[in-house]
């Protein structure tokens, strides 16, 4: 991966991290202000928060891989993850093939 590509992906990770942290902070503040609301709204907001938290965990893991010099290397097979994949999903930990296998194996 070229240095400019790595910089671009790093900026994308940091920007998305900041957005998620802001959203989670706002959601937490809103829950404190409003208190108990109807169960359907709470469930929808909780589902959004859970997705945000999962994405934030993935971003933090990608940041750690970058610190360790493993960013852009598939955790499944050790091959390089293509720039196009990382551009679309900067927190990706697996190449396309390993991700397909993972999703097929661990369907929810």
pLDDT digit string (tens) for 51-82?
A: 999 999 999 999 999 999 999 999 999 999 99
- φ and ψ at 61, to 5 degrees? -65, -40
User: Are residues 79 and 73 in contact, defined by beta-carbon separation less than 8 angstroms?
Assistant: yes
The token pair at 49 is: 């928060």
Q: Does domain 3-105 match CATH 3.30.300.130?
A: no
Cα 5 to Cα 50: distance, rounded to the nearest angstrom:
30
Q: Average pLDDT for residues 18-22, to the nearest whole number? A: 94
Half-sphere CA count of 94, side-chain side, radius 13 A: 10
Q: What residues have CB less than 8 Å from 45, skipping those under 6 apart?
A: 27, 31
pLDDT at residue number 37: 55
Output 39 or 62, whichever has higher pLDDT: 62
Place of tokens 């709470």: 42
CA 40 to chain centre: 26
């Amino acid at each position: 991966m070229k240095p400019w590509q790595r910089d671009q992906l790093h900026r994308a990770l940091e920007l998305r991290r900041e957005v998620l942290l802001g959203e989670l902070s706002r959601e937490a503040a809103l829950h404190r202000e409003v208190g108990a609301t109807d169960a359907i709204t709470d469930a929808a907001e909780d589902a959004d928060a859970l997705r945000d938290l999962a994405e934030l965990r993935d971003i933090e893991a990608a940041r750690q891989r970058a610190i360790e010099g493993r960013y852009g290397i598939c955790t499944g097979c050790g091959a390089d993850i293509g720039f196009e994949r990382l551009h679309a999903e900067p927190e990706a930990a697996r190449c396309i093939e390993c991700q397909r296998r993972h999703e097929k194996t661990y369907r929810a």
